[in-house]
Copies of this chain bind each other. A is one copy, B any other.
Amino acid sequence: MVAEIIAIGSELLSPYRIDTNSLELTEKLMEMGIRVGGKCVVGDNEEDISRAIRTAASRAQLIIITGGLGPTNDDKTREGISKALKLNLIFKKEIHNQIIEKYRQMKRNAEPPDNLARMAFVPEGAEIIENNVGAAPGLWIEMKEGELYILSLPGPPQEWRPMFEVVREKLSSFGNHFFSRRSLRIAGLREAEVEEKISPIYTGVKNPSVTILSSAEDIQIQIWGKAKEKQEAERLAEEMKESFLNVLEDNVYSLKDEPLEKVVGELLRKKEKTLAVAESCTGGLLSHRITNVPKSSDYFLFSGVVYSNEAKIKVLGVNEKDIKEHGAVSEEIATQMAEGVRKTAGADFGIGITGIAGPGGGTKEKPVGLVYISLSWEGGAETKRFRFPGTRLQVKTYATSHALNMLRKRLL
């Protein structure tokens, strides 16, 4: 089955907002074996909505519409559906009563405005999907003896997500295939290195399909297995995942879509170890990422963002002479920062990062993107030299991911 997604709202045609509902819906549909064949955005205009629905109906068997179901005159989805599919809008008294009742509950008995009545007009033959979060109910319509289905949902995710669950079983029965997804998150390798390792496995293979998403933060591989039987789809995806794991080994840090900082945090917690970090070029991004994980205070003690040499010397005990001799961006200083912050904070592990994030400040010997990362522990240390590409933010992000990954490998 092919689906089409229509997002309704003039604000989605401005330069400031984007339809992200369709991404989440696409993933849900794919898992049910329903392919999204197209998507579009139209404004709050009855004629435009109607035309979009008619076009979609000419090529898709399932149309999912988000937005435009509210009570104001700008909310034209009901009218658009009615016009496109030649279904009369019928006023449903019992739905009006429910809407009023809910309004009174939510607004502490305030007088409901007249325009709520608009939401009680329903295309004939449509089933109502109750909205337990917001006011506007959703719609489910079956047409052409099961050749066309329309699902109309409100725009806000917190409203449509639970409403989608109501029709999940129906939708699941439409998929002619089962899809099964596996995801691998990889740190410490470049995209070309990942490609080199896995391309002999998946080149020429159409099922499962493989998508590689590369960013400064990490590399993600998405595997989708497809089959008539659920078990077969699972097997296909699982086998490809295992083959990838064989060559990528412990560079795979998560099979559960977790961020690296969460994986590292769980390792620290499990091993009852603590961490302190000293950041120069990453400027606080490493500690920001670490502390995005709830309860990270259990294992994260301190970060010194030591932009100035004085701070490096005073807070971390870095040797002033060594800064003069080797420069602040050097293996020696990274190592001293890692050890200094570990001792200062009384932590089990210390990380030190120093480099040139750019865009200015690079020289021939020490170009933009040059970063030294050091990991220190009781009785040992490891310091690596990197050269990262990209913008200031990308260099910061690459450096933090590699630092977290060095710690992860040590903890394994």
Q: What residues of chain A have their CB less than 8 Å away from a CB belonging to chain B?
A: 11, 13-16, 18, 20, 23-24, 26-27, 30, 36-43, 48, 51-52, 55, 58-59, 211, 213, 222, 276, 279, 282-288, 290-292, 294-297, 300-308, 310-311, 314-315, 344-346, 357-360, 392-393, 396
Tell which of B14, B300, B305 touches A26, judged by Cβ atoms closer than 8 Å: B14
| Docked-complex contact B294 and A360, CB < 8 angstroms | yes
Closest 9 CB pairs of A and B: A283-B291, A284-B287, A40-B40, A303-B305, A284-B284, A15-B27, A302-B311, A284-B288, A301-B308
Given contacts A307-B300, A346-B310, contact A37 B59 (CB under 8 A): no
A394 to chain B, nearest CB (A): 11
Chain B residues positioned under 8 Å from A279 (CB to CB) = 284, 287
Tell which of B37, B43, B358 touches A294, judged by Cβ atoms closer than 8 Å: B358
| Docked-complex contact B311 and A301, CB < 8 angstroms | yes
A300 to chain B, nearest CB (A): 5
Tell which of B30, B296, B305, B359 touches A307, judged by Cβ atoms closer than 8 Å: B296
| Docked-complex contact B18 and A18, CB < 8 angstroms | yes
Copies in the complex: 2
| Docked-complex contact A283 and B292, CB < 8 angstroms | yes
Closest chain B residue, CB of each to CB of A306: B302
| Docked-complex contact B307 and A304, CB < 8 angstroms | no
| Docked-complex contact B41 and A13, CB < 8 angstroms | no
Chain B residues positioned under 8 Å from A286 (CB to CB) = 284
| A38 to B213 Cα, complex, angstroms | 28
| Docked-complex contact A344 and B314, CB < 8 angstroms | yes
Chain B residues positioned under 8 Å from A213 (CB to CB) = 16
Chain B residues positioned under 8 Å from A310 (CB to CB) = 301, 345-346
A21 to chain B, nearest CB (A): 11
Tell which of B222, B283, B290 touches A290, judged by Cβ atoms closer than 8 Å: B283
Given contacts A15-B30, A26-B14, A315-B344, contact A291 B303 (CB under 8 A): no
Besides A18-B23, A283-B292, A302-B306, 12 other A-B contacts (C-beta < 8 A): A15-B23, A18-B20, A37-B48, A38-B43, A38-B52, A279-B284, A283-B291, A291-B357, A302-B304, A302-B305, A303-B303, A304-B304
| A342 to B66 Cα, complex, angstroms | 51
Chain B residues positioned under 8 Å from A307 (CB to CB) = 291, 296-297, 300-303
| A55 to B11 Cα, complex, angstroms | 21
| Docked-complex contact B211 and A16, CB < 8 angstroms | yes
Chain B residues positioned under 8 Å from A345 (CB to CB) = 308, 310-311, 314
| Docked-complex contact B315 and A302, CB < 8 angstroms | yes
| Docked-complex contact A59 and B48, CB < 8 angstroms | yes
Given contacts A15-B23, A360-B294, contact A38 B38 (CB under 8 A): no
Tell which of B51, B276, B392, B393 touches A55, judged by Cβ atoms closer than 8 Å: B51
Chain B residues positioned under 8 Å from A392 (CB to CB) = 292, 294
| Docked-complex contact B43 and A41, CB < 8 angstroms | no
| Docked-complex contact B27 and A13, CB < 8 angstroms | no
Q: What are 24 A-to-B residue pairs whose CB atoms are below 8 Å?
A: A13-B38, A13-B39, A15-B27, A16-B23, A16-B211, A16-B213, A16-B222, A39-B40, A39-B41, A40-B41, A51-B59, A283-B287, A283-B290, A283-B292, A284-B284, A284-B285, A284-B288, A291-B307, A292-B393, A295-B360, A302-B304, A303-B303, A303-B307, A310-B346
